[in-house]
Structure 1
Amino acid sequence: MIRKFSTKNPAKTKILILGGGFAGSNVLREIQKQFKGNDAEITLVSQDNFFLFTPMLPEISSGMLHASDITNPIRTFCKTANFCHARILSIDVENKGVSVIRIFDQKETVLEYDYLVLALGSKDNFFGNRNIEEFAFTIKTLEDAIAIRNHIVSVLECADQERDPVLQEQLLRFVVVGGGFAGVEIATEINHFLQDATKDYYKNIDAGKIKTIIVSARDGILPEVGEELGKFALDHVKKSGIEVITNTKAVDAGEDHVLLSDNTIIPCATLIWAGGVTVDPLVAALKCEHGQSGRLVVDQYLRLKDYPSIFALGDCANLVDLKTNTVYPTTAQIAIRQSKLVSENLIAEVKGNPNFMQPFVYHNRGVMATIGKRTGVALVNGKKIHGFVAWVLWRTFYWSHLPTREKKIKVGFDWLLSLIFRADIMTVGFIKKKTLSRLETPIYSAIERGIDQTQSVSSYL
């Protein structure tokens, strides 16, 4: 039975935020400062009950950081707002309702809204290739990072015991598809871990036989940082022992190989996909104007053109930069800036001051990436920086954007420990998870099942 949820105070404006990532959690925190629970009822919906600091996911895969270092319970952000731990089933833009299903007991509810904020992020795009989707690891979620971590350690354990040199080399071949930020950073991070772990723990593995491969569809890597820095990154990555295959795509895969567009077959036990993203299926299904990769076309105030009470931002928003005539990319920096503007415009709208709304203007201060041990590239205000300084800039920038002081301390401490101690090669293991398919009030459940109420209910109440 689907239950319709209505606010306890109908006089309050109902603001519903879908998504707990950079965009959604920042909107939540900003509008709470203004309303403080008096003028609006704010609810955030997410199927994860934590905020994930995604730029540091590769460091979870290598074991440099722990999962708790880059996650914050969303409820710690909810000073006056409500949090709904649920999966979104559908969005009814005509009747202003969002159907959700509770994670634990699968109970469906419809949440009403006056204003809706769509911050659902993006999903991995496999371009319809079911084999790659089945056999490749991805690097979008915390579970992804932990899965890669466990898999790599398990592969090393297996390779250390393998006496067939051909099979051992196949086990020690790691393929990463994607030459952008995600692909390069995960490839360089796990390569560093593999070299250190082999040297310290696995006496039957020759570190020279470890082969990390980046497959890039472009003529190089990291096109976002420009040609000069991209070439520096490519040269450095190759010097660190990583093979880079350019102008090539992965077109098929199995559990023990990857097929490339030039008909090359790479025997391997590990495939990591960082080859592109697309919008959440819920966003793609909305009956409104869509743009690049299914993203929602918004006006300069980040509202849907046909539904001014709906704001969209981050990875699901299609907004054209009028200076370059290109769509803004899907980066955490842009999502953070858009969340600030959406918050201000939403507050102006709710308070009846639409003339105070501001258009989105983004001044790109720079982009940066890590490309190996204590090495990075950065393009900051047009200045090209590479090497150790760029690596420090990357760490400083993202460390400063961790949401709480506690996480800053934990991350800083773990970074310090990684300089002193050897790599951790422990796997997390498998965790049993329980869910309910049915949860009813005891008295009604007993009546429905025809059980004597005194036997089934009263003895436990």
Structure 2
Amino acid sequence: MDTNLPKSSHPRLVIIGCGFAGLRLAKALKHDPVQVVVIDRNNYHNFQPLLYQVATGALEADSIAYPIRKIFAGQKNFFYRMADVQRVDTAANTVHTNIGDIHYDYLVLATGSLTNFFGIESIEKNAMQIKSIPNALNLRSYIFQNFEKALLTEDPVQRQALMNIVVVGGGPTGVEISGSLAEMRKHVLPKDYPELDLQQMQIYIVEAGAELLGPMSPQSQRDAFEYLKELGVNIRLNTSIKRYEDCKAYYSETEFIPTENLIWAAGVNGAAVPGLPDAVVARNKRITVNRWNQVEGFTNVFAIGDVANMVTEDMPKGLPMLAPVAIQQADHLAENFRRLAKGQTPVDFKYHNKGVMAIVARNKAVVDLPKGHFRGFLGWLTWLFVHLMTLVGFRNKVVALTDWAFSYFSSDQALRLIIRPFSRRDVKDDKGKKTAEHQASTPQYNPTPPAIQTPAA
């Protein structure tokens, strides 16, 4: 029991997950009379908003990751265990993991989110995703491997499928990676593959809704659309990918886009932990909490960040799954723990929207603030500054800034490395389990790309 954790006279608070929420909460409790135990399957904190830059070679993986033990070096009330959580036993106040059982007095679920494939099995088995550093590295290797294959094939149909890239999902991740790929096509790939006619390479962004960047303002939606259009990205609105098999991304029963590179960025579910009652797990796998981030029906179990489903009058579908929400909830819960320790009543959480932003390409970004909107170079600088300041670790900040400066002034990306060759038979889901082997075949090809669509008024 307790995997060699020391006994303490203070209550033990176990945090599952060291993303934005778990990291912030553990740091906020540094000087409190509580034993903080963090459980995570990775020994590093991953800065997810920049994963797409790892996937496209703009940043190296170690510039957006930081060792958990190094982050908390010197925090005497902190303990970390690298483990996979199997389930929680709320009756026994125990977390069951692959390394043993850990007892808790308070439990905080900060497990984040998983990719939502909406039950489409062919996409879950065959599409690429960007939810982790291994995902991003696999995607980077896979794209460049396919260009190497395109050089070797004499079949123009197969070559086209190897070069085409389809991004599914018009949210910030989809928009950002589409713009990054378009810049790569313009500035990077012609240097590496002069033998290929890169004008044939098609980049598609497919969105089921009527606009890109659905949660953002209409101005940002229109600006993002125009930016991607200028970059030559094929935009398909009001379109859903029904299935993906044999190198064909079907958007109807018979119509498809030929591609070996389908990137799924269309949605996420909460990463609910097994063992909780079904009644507290919503349809999107988020855990229902009250205004104290307390899981319904429990006094010592809490959830924060993406996995927490906090419904308010302003947001009947729950607070957005964004890093600022996770950080604010962590700070608020730390303060409520102090109030509980003093026998005081916790206070309700109120989300303060400080703004949202998305970058499309160099000098092209959109920023929505509570009292205004701006775009272009100023938006791009704002995005760079906010993300640079949010990165964990001084070294990571310096490395990211250096890489960005190099890319900006040279119009190049130095990290075009296939360090570990990747095959679809190696695809693993968010839980680390292998999925079925991808079955590829030569697709048919319609050389006329779908037309760019105008967003809804």
Question: Out of 92, 96, 99, which is 2:96 matched to?
Answer: 99
Question: Out of 121, 140, 157, which is 1:149 matched to?
Answer: 140
Note if 1:82 corresponds to 2:45: no
Letter in 1 for 2:36: I
Q: Report matched runs for 1:245-284 at 5 Å.
A: 245-261=236-252, 263-282=254-273
SS at match of 2:186: helix
Q: Report matched runs for 1:395-406 at 5 Å.
A: 395-406=384-395
Aligned to 2:349: 360
Distance in 1 of aligned mates of 2:218 and 2:35: 49
Distance in 1 of aligned mates of 2:136 and 2:54: 6
Distance in 1 of aligned mates of 2:283 and 2:309: 7
What's the CA shift for 1:131?
A: 0.9
Distance in 1 of aligned mates of 2:174 and 2:135: 14
Distance in 2 of aligned mates of 1:323 and 1:132: 34
Distance in 1 of aligned mates of 2:409 and 2:219: 34
Q: What is the alpha-carbon root mean square deviation over aligned residues?
A: 1.8
The answer on whether the counterparts of 1:31 and 1:347 sit within 8 Å (CA) in structure 2 is no
SS at match of 2:102: strand
Aligned to 1:391: 380
What's the CA shift for 1:187?
A: 1.6
Distance in 1 of aligned mates of 2:273 and 2:400: 34
Aligned to 1:329: 320
Deviation digits for residues 325-347 of structure 1 (CA, Å, limit 9, x no counterpart): 44111011111111111111123
What's the CA shift for 1:256?
A: 1.1
Distance in 2 of aligned mates of 1:287 and 1:128: 19
Distance in 2 of aligned mates of 1:428 and 1:191: 23
Q: Report matched runs for 1:155-304 at 5 Å.
A: 155-261=146-252, 263-282=254-273, 285-304=276-295
Aligned to 2:405: 416
Note if 1:70 corresponds to 2:64: yes
Letter in 2 for 1:339: A
Aligned to 2:444: none
What's the CA shift for 1:255?
A: 4.3
Structure 1 residues 125 and 50, CA, compared in 2 at 3 Å: closer, same or farther? same
Structure 1 residues 304 and 206, CA, compared in 2 at 3 Å: closer, same or farther? same
What's the CA shift for 1:5?
A: 4.6
Mean Cα deviation higher: 404-413 or 50-59: 404-413
Structure 1 residues 97 and 418, CA, compared in 2 at 3 Å: closer, same or farther? same
Larger radius of gyration: 1
Aligned to 1:456: none
SS at match of 1:299: coil
SS at match of 1:400: helix
The answer on whether the counterparts of 2:272 and 2:307 sit within 8 Å (CA) in structure 1 is no
Letter in 1 for 2:216: V
> Greater relative contact order (Cα 8 A, min sep 6): structure 1 or 2?
2
Unmatched 5+ stretches in structure 2:
423-457
Distance in 2 of aligned mates of 1:228 and 1:261: 30
Deviation digits for residues 43-76 of structure 1 (CA, Å, limit 9, x no counterpart): 1000010000111111101111111100010112
SS at match of 2:244: strand
Structure 1 residues 14 and 392, CA, compared in 2 at 3 Å: closer, same or farther? same
Deviation digits for residues 95-128 of structure 1 (CA, Å, limit 9, x no counterpart): 10000113xxxxxx11000000100011111111
Deviation digits for residues 403-446 of structure 1 (CA, Å, limit 9, x no counterpart): 22221111111111223443332211259xxxxxxxxxxxxxxx
Aligned residues: 417
Letter in 1 for 2:25: V
Structure 1 residues 76 and 353, CA, compared in 2 at 3 Å: closer, same or farther? farther
SS at match of 1:253: strand
* Bigger share in helix: 1
Mean Cα deviation higher: 19-28 or 315-324: 315-324
Normalising by structure 2, what TM-score? 0.87
The answer on whether the counterparts of 1:54 and 1:141 sit within 8 Å (CA) in structure 2 is yes
Letter in 2 for 1:164: D
The answer on whether the counterparts of 1:5 and 1:112 sit within 8 Å (CA) in structure 2 is no
Note if 1:380 corresponds to 2:380: no
SS at match of 1:248: coil
Distance in 1 of aligned mates of 2:153 and 2:188: 17
SS at match of 1:204: coil
SS at match of 1:407: helix
Distance in 1 of aligned mates of 2:343 and 2:51: 40
SS at match of 1:403: coil
Deviation digits for residues 61-96 of structure 1 (CA, Å, limit 9, x no counterpart): 111111110001011233221100000011011110
Q: Report matched runs for 1:42-57 at 5 Å.
A: 42-57=36-51
Aligned to 2:434: none
Aligned to 1:317: 308
Distance in 1 of aligned mates of 2:296 and 2:186: 52
Mean Cα deviation higher: 63-72 or 262-271: 262-271
* Bigger share in strand: 1
Deviation digits for residues 311-335 of structure 1 (CA, Å, limit 9, x no counterpart): 1011111112334544111011111
Distance in 2 of aligned mates of 1:164 and 1:263: 23
What's the CA shift for 1:281?
A: 4.7
Letter in 2 for 1:55: P
The answer on whether the counterparts of 2:272 and 2:286 sit within 8 Å (CA) in structure 1 is no
Identical amino acids, percent of aligned pairs: 27
What's the CA shift for 1:226?
A: 1.7
